[in-house]
Amino acid sequence: MAITFGRFTDAFRPKSKLDKWNECERKFEENKYIESYIDFLEYLKDDSTDNVIHSRTNDTIDFKLFQGSKEIRGTMDEKHVKAESWVAAYDKLTVPAMRRLMEMNYSLYYSRFAIKDNHIIIKSDSGTHDGSPRKLYFAFKEVALRADKQDDLLIDDFASLKPIDVQAEPIADAEKQVKLKYFRKWIDDTLKRVGELNTEQFSGAISYLLLSLLYRTDYLLVPEGTLMNDIEKISWTYFTRDNKPFSQKNETMKKSFEELMKKPDEKILEDLYRTKSTFGIANPVGHQAVTDVFNSNLNNVKWYLENNHEDLALIIYEYAAGHCLFSYGLAKPTRQLFHLVLQMLNEDFFGELGITDKIYDSKKKEFNKELIISRINGIVKEGSEQFPELKINTENIKFDSLPNFLRSYFTEIQGLNYNV
């Protein structure tokens, strides 16, 4: 099974999927509900995975959607649309757990947590006449994302709850061991480097180090379950607008990583598995959001280079790529170009995973120029089928040093044209 990186995104679907969406909306307006829903489910289906399964019997559609570790089942007919996911099982439901479910229901728009046969479920239902494809998209997304997140959180917080209906594909033990090794290595190396820096004078650099560690872990290791939730919490803590000084936020992040290092190996390993998804967690954004990240951060590189802190300058580039991959639903070419950055800066990790097409040798400080240019041209060629104005001039990319490569490479990414 191929090794995968990064989170699923449903942003920037190809034209064939957009055509399905237009068809399902048109048919719904013509009161052809069943035909509309068939096209709607085909729109949700990712052609590279079996994330959506459906069958039709007369005027009834049965379907399954997969989102992370959860399965969402439902039916559609001429009168009703129903979708539900089983979140957790219990022998006896406690008052604190019931209170949590009631509190969460106040934050939901299209669905609700409910109790069914000694199970906690999340469900959504609608009449067909007001169950437009647009409404169903947001309803199914709410059910799917909440089910996938809350199963782990509820089970961790309440001992009376037990997992149920977990959808996961195991990964090879060798891959898990490499990921475990680098999970600990990256945290240890980063905390040591942070400890060498003055917390006030280098508060910005410390933020870049810790956040880059966060995003590298998320993208390259792709943890699920409670480990993924732990990573998200660290990011939220830092970016919450609470007027706390950055030095304090850095200390909070540092302590969070120290707590992660205390987790036993088996707890880390149990959150390393593969899943299928139908909805992306990060919302889609235009390319301007990427250039805004560049403009806000890359000007800081110069100072670190001039003051002999090349490692901190490189971390800013990794942070910019990682932040975009973590926070935004990006167009596929941008995701692929950022992947090249993460691979270049973490060649040792890729090598131990068995990915032998090395694009940069950090010990010799040598580029595989031919392979890099081939990769870039391949990304642009594939992406230009959806975005005809997409171009990168590889002659503008410098190969004399890693900082110069990244500077020129990010300049080319910034100038990408996603007009269609």
CA distance 185 to 167: 29
Is 260 in the same domain as 380? yes
Strand partners, 169: 274
Is 368 in the same domain as 258? yes
Task: Find the farthest-apart pair of alpha carbons in the chain and give their distance in angstroms, rounded.
Answer: 72
Q: Note the pLDDT of residue 152.
A: 85
Alpha carbons within 13 angstroms on the beta-carbon side of residue 194 total 25
Beta carbons of 11 and 284 less than 8 angstroms apart: yes
Is 198 in the same domain as 121? no
Is 352 in the same domain as 392? yes
Give 243-269 pLDDT, tens digit per residue.
889 899 999 999 999 999 999 999 999
SS (H, E, C) the chain: CCCCCCCCCCCCCCHHHHHHHHHHHHHHHCCCHHHHHHHHHHHHCCCCCCCEEEEEECCEEEEEEEEECEEEEEEECCCEEEEEEEEEEECCCCHHHHHHHHHHHCCCCCCEEEECCCEEEEEEEEEHHHCCHHHHHHHHHHHHHHHHHHHHHHHHHCCCEECCCCCCECCCHHHHHHHHHHHHHHHHHHHHHHHCCCCCCCHHHHHHHHHHHHHHHHHHHCCCHHHHHHHHHHHHHHHCCCCCCHHHHHHHHHHHHHHHHCCCHHHHHCCCCECECCCCCCCECCHHHHHHHHHHHHHHHHHHHHCCCHHHHHHHHHHHHHHHHHHCECCHHHHHHHHHHHHHHCHHHHHHCCCCCCCEECCCCEECHHHHHHHHHHHHHHHCCCCCCCCCCHHHCCCCCHHHHHHHHHHHHHCCCCCC
Is 329 in the same domain as 209? yes
Q: What angle do CA 392, 285, 144 make, to 5 degrees?
A: 125
* Domain count for the chain: 2
Domain membership of residue 6 (yes or no) is: no
Residue 158 maps to which CATH number? 3.30.1460.10
Is 196 in the same domain as 123? no
Rounded to a whole number of angstroms, the CA Rg of the chain reads: 23
Q: Which amino acid is at 399?
A: F
Q: What angle do CA 235, 240, 246 make, to 5 degrees?
A: 80
- Quote the distance between the C-alpha of residue 302 and its chain's center: 30
Is 326 in the same domain as 223? yes
Is 226 in the same domain as 279? yes
* Structural domain containing residue 119: 15-162
SS (H, E, C) 266-278: HHHHCCCCECECC
Is 56 in the same domain as 177? no
Q: Spell out, as residue ranges, where the chain has pLDDT lower than 70.
A: 1
Q: What angle do CA 94, 97, 102 make, to 5 degrees?
A: 125
Is 157 in the same domain as 185? no
Q: Note the pLDDT of residue 192.
A: 98
For CA atoms 292, 209, 270, 260, give the dihedral sign: negative
Domain membership of residue 202 (yes or no) is: yes
Is 197 in the same domain as 145? no
CA distance 138 to 161: 28
CA distance 126 to 132: 9
> Which residues have a Cβ under 8 Å from the Cβ of 374 and sit 6 or more positions away?
none
* Residue at a domain's end among 93, 127, 162: 162
Is 129 in the same domain as 188? no
User: What is the pLDDT of the chain when averaged over all its residues?
Assistant: 95
CA distance 251 to 5: 29
* Residue at a domain's end among 131, 162, 193: 162
52-57 and 70-76 strand pairing: unpaired
Give 287-312 pLDDT, tens digit per residue.
999 999 999 999 999 999 999 999 99
Domain membership of residue 2 (yes or no) is: no
Give 53-103 pLDDT, tens digit per residue.
999 999 999 999 999 999 999 999 999 999 999 999 999 999 999 999 999
CA distance 290 to 284: 11
Q: Note the pLDDT of residue 49.
A: 86
Neighbours of 22 (CB within 10 A): 13
